[in-house]
Amino acid sequence: MILKVARLGNPVVRQTAREVDPREISSADFQRLLDDMVETMREYDGVGLAAPQVHVPKRVAVLEVTDHPRYPHIERIPLTFLINPVVVPVGEETEEDWEGCLSIPELRGKVPRFKAVRVSALGRQGEKLEFVARNFHARVIQHEVDHLNGMVYLDRMKDLRSLSYLLEWQRYWMDDLTVRGKAKKGKAHVEAPSKGASS
């Protein structure tokens, strides 16, 4: 089922999400929520979605990039479920790049993010996940974890002058993103989640 996306201004977007009881993960209701989040993310051409964005203040996020129309040159990210994620930067290197958000429709802005992060979480069946994400993969994870902490990408922007409406972004800035994406594609690195690894 496609869920209604909460937009900026709805209090749920600014709530700190609560941890999920691992015993809840196998329940039919929780599994249905995961399916609905994936369907909603795909319906709106998102690359990630956090539960608070669909009015559920729980520490859950889904992400996926496969032949995405808005990110044709970005590395593939397999469908991933992150429950109670903990994210720690790997090194101090950051990069500023464009982001959008289903909860802030029609806008794009440049946001600094750590280039690599270590992620510990539970997966769809409650299995332990631990992996390192880099580049765009790391950016998507940081964006979604911000949602779990009641933050949006606007809070991370150093300079609001890059903030653009989507049509203007496509007209004036998208070519720059595409060129840089092509240049990075050969260097992109995504380490797939390792099931059963210790946190």
How confident is the model over 146-158, as pLDDT tens digits?
999 999 999 999 9
| Lowest mean pLDDT segment, chosen from 51-60, 61-70, 116-125, 155-164 | 61-70
Q: Is the pLDDT of residue 12 over 80?
A: yes
What ranges do the domains of the chain cover?
Answer: 11-195
Query: Residue 171's beta-bridge partner residues?
Result: none
Arithmetic mean of pLDDT over the chain: 89
DSSP state of 123: -
Q: Is the pLDDT of residue 181 over 70?
A: no
Better pLDDT: 111 or 68: 111
Q: How confident is the model at residue 198 (pLDDT cuts 50, 70, 90)?
A: very low
Q: In the prediction, which pLDDT does 131 show?
A: 98
Q: In what order do the strands lie in the sheet with 164-165?
A: 94-101, 104-114, 164-165
Q: Are 113 and 158 in contact (CB under 8 A)?
A: no
**93 flagged as catalytic:** no
Q: Which of 96, 144, 168, 191 is an active site residue?
A: 144
Q: In the prediction, which pLDDT does 152 show?
A: 98
Exposure string over 22-44, b if 16+ CB within 10 A, otherwise e:
eeebeeeebeebbebbbebbbee
Q: In the prediction, which pLDDT does 103 show?
A: 98
Q: In the prediction, which pLDDT does 72 show?
A: 65
Better pLDDT: 178 or 120: 120
Q: In the prediction, which pLDDT does 195 show?
A: 33
Class (C level, CATH) for 11-195:
alpha beta
Q: In the prediction, which pLDDT does 133 show?
A: 98
| DSSP string computed for 66-89 | SS-TT-TTSPPEEEEEEEEEEEEE
Read off the pLDDT of residues 103-155 as tens digits, 9 standing for 90 and up: 999 999 999 999 999 999 999 999 999 999 999 999 999 999 999 999 999 99
| Lowest mean pLDDT segment, chosen from 57-66, 162-171, 175-184 | 175-184
The residues near 151 (Cβ < 8 Å, ≥ 6 apart) are none
Q: Is the pLDDT of residue 82 over 90?
A: yes
Q: Is the pLDDT of residue 90 over 50?
A: yes
